[in-house]
Amino acid sequence: MKILVATEKPFAAEAVNGIREIVEAAGHELALLEKYTDKAQLLEAVADADALIVRSDKVTEEVVAAAKKLQVVVRAGAGYDNVDLKACSARGIVVENTPGQNSNAVAELAIGMMIYMSRNQFTSGTGCELSGKRLGIQGFGNIGQLIAKKAVALGMDVVIYTKEVKEKHQRWKATFSLEHLYSECDFISVNIPATPFTKGCVNYNLISKMPKGGCLVNTARKEVVCEDGLEKALSERPDLKYVTDIAPDRYAEFKERFGKQIFATPKKMGAETAEANINAGLAAAQQICDYFSVGCTKYQVNK
């Protein structure tokens, strides 16, 4: 089988080597399309691929149509909002993700972002410490849980918001009200997927409830934060801050208007560590091999 790794933002070399080893040991062929700049390159590369590994690369209806032999797509990462599930399902293509494999990298970035914003984006001026502050975690999956543990180690008081408080979550302070979470927490970390239900859910009503000096941290997806609501909250409350790994559409304008109240990484870097690339990339390769060898679909997301 031909397994294509199509990554506009490439994996670390070590991860690619590991993927190749797994694929070739299972008797398959690896094709690589890295740092592509044009959709046409992806359309051409998928034409004879039986399987596809991507990161945030968009697997649209057009890509699916061009991939005549495609049987399985693995998004090496958590969020699969970049894959057109409907188009894949219509063709019987299995779509999987690799949950948890890059979570630690994202969790570390979220902590780093909190420190960065608390210390005036590493410029002069009096900052504040994380110790003793309250962190609200919206979305308590793999990433949220790791952030919580790291935050506790830093002396933070953690409150979680999650739709399902499982038994293993019992030790955490939890709230079932987002309004309550936002109004009680100095920092809020957003760790939810982008779905039709979550788009724009972090809105003015919530952001403006944050206490004085509150900081919203978004390492999830741009779409979950309502940009107009964010704009209104930041303009009414110069004490509020927003830090994100995925710049809002109007970031240049916001940066100009809100200065140090806002910071976005130039390119999404939550999962940009060698460890995360290796974990997610190798898991993706193994999942594809397992699918071809024994039909394993453990991580299928379009069932």
Closest CA to 57 of 5, 115, 127: 5
Minimum distance, C-beta of residue 78 to ligand 3PG, in the bound complex (Å): 4
Minimum distance, C-beta of residue 3 to ligand 3PG, in the bound complex (Å): 17
Minimum distance, C-beta of residue 272 to ligand 3PG, in the bound complex (Å): 6
CB 178 within 8 A of CB 138: yes
Greatest Cα-to-Cα distance within the chain, rounded to the nearest angstrom: 60
Q: What is the DSSP letter of 300?
A: B
Residue with smaller CB distance to ligand 3PG, 150 or 268 = 268
> What does the binding site for ligand 3PG look like in residue numbers (CB under 6 A)?
9, 55-56, 77-79, 102, 268, 270-271
Distance of alpha carbon 231 from alpha carbon 204, whole angstroms: 8
**Residue-wise over 244-270: b if at least 16 C-beta within 10 A, else e?**
bbbbbeebeebbeebeebbbbbeebeb
**DSSP of 127-168:** ---STT-EEEEE--SHHHHHHHHHHHHTT-EEEEE-S---GG
Residue with smaller CB distance to ligand 3PG, 28 or 222 = 222
Distance of alpha carbon 98 from alpha carbon 132, whole angstroms: 34
Minimum distance, C-beta of residue 124 to ligand 3PG, in the bound complex (Å): 32
Residue with smaller CB distance to ligand 3PG, 236 or 249 = 249
Residue with smaller CB distance to ligand 3PG, 6 or 271 = 271
Residue with smaller CB distance to ligand 3PG, 105 or 262 = 105
Residue with smaller CB distance to ligand 3PG, 54 or 156 = 54
| Amino acid at site 205 | N
In degrees and rounded to multiples of 5, residue 97 shows phi and psi of: -120, -175
CB closest to ligand 3PG, residue no: 77
Minimum distance, C-beta of residue 175 to ligand 3PG, in the bound complex (Å): 25
Count CB neighbours of 208 within 10 A.
Answer: 18
Minimum distance, C-beta of residue 110 to ligand 3PG, in the bound complex (Å): 12
